[in-house]
Structure 1
């Protein structure tokens, strides 16, 4: 039975770092990053994106699950609609959907991370103001929650692995 690990959280909290580490640690698992999909969609198609990146990743994940591979989805996943989409993956091969929210509870640390990424010269990262204006709804179900504010990457990853084992 494959697992679907769905990483959620605002930009700059550390979810991509943790998701990529998990992808390296779990064999036979595909990794999909919504930001990457949307970045290339925007380069080719100038219209505003709503849910296209999520849908592309969903169907790619579904195909991998049908092949018996686990999947890791790295996305903001800010609203109920997107969360319901990922939960539909449980219908494929009795997949266990594991929702993981990554947060950074220290506002200054979070802002510093976002601003450092933005200043790196890449225009694909949001500004701090973009992050503050993002519509991000609170979760209404049991999930794994990882706070990266006061933990190293290594410690955060260890906490994640321990929580996945208990889930």
Structure 2
């Protein structure tokens, strides 16, 4: 199964994705980690390359029968369709989860107080500022997905909701 967590930085997607991947003992693909590695390896900038690497790694894991949890902004229909294609090509179920934080003040607080993960963010990659998040190109969804709003409620409750979706046939 392929579970893709999408949403703006600071929405809470990484917290949920990592929690689910840990619980399921799934392969965890975090686009921030991939982009950091590419930048630290000398690429002058990263665009589609990070997503291309993530799709390839997901395909390898699905081919081996592993569950994959992908953690990425996934901002455009083309990126969303590419994840769908990876699942289709490997006859895997896919669950698209869009994570939002409907409380703008809480969302901003999260972005501005985010602590850098030394292991993944060392080097040239830096987490985005609130200004970058606020102007991020993030297209409206036109395909089915589950929306989880992290503005209220406990993280554990939100994780249980996603876990129920994973364990119930789609």
TM over 0.5: yes
Following superposition, the deviation at residue 37 of structure 1 comes to 0.5
Q: C-alpha separation between the residues in 2 aligned to 1:138 and 1:83?
A: 11
Specify every segment of 5 or more residues in structure 1 that has no aligned partner in the other structure, as ranges.
none
Larger CA deviation: 88-97 vs 140-149: 88-97
Give the deviation of 1:91 after TM superposition.
2.5
Residue from 15, 18, 21 that aligns with 2:16: 18
Residue aligning to 1:5:
3
Equivalences for 1:22-33 in 2 at 5 Å? 22-27=20-25, 29-33=26-30
| SS, match of residue 117 in structure 1 | coil
Deviates more, 1:18-27 or 1:32-41: 18-27
Distance 2:117 2:79 in 1: 29
Q: Please, what TM-score do these two structures have when normalized by structure 1?
A: 0.90
What is the TM-score of this pair, normalised by structure 2?
0.89
Does 2:117 match 1:114? Answer: no
Decide whether the 8 Å contact of 1:65 with 1:92 is kept in 2. Answer: no
1:39 equivalenced with 2:36 (yes/no): yes
For 1:86, what is the secondary structure of its paired residue?
helix
Cα deviation, residue 166, structure 1: 6.5
- Alpha-carbon distance, 1:142 to partner: 1.3
Aligned to 1:84: 81
The answer for unaligned runs of 5 or more in structure 2 is none
Instruction: Please name the residue that 2:137 is paired with.
Output: 135
Superposition RMSD on alpha carbons, in Å?
Answer: 1.9
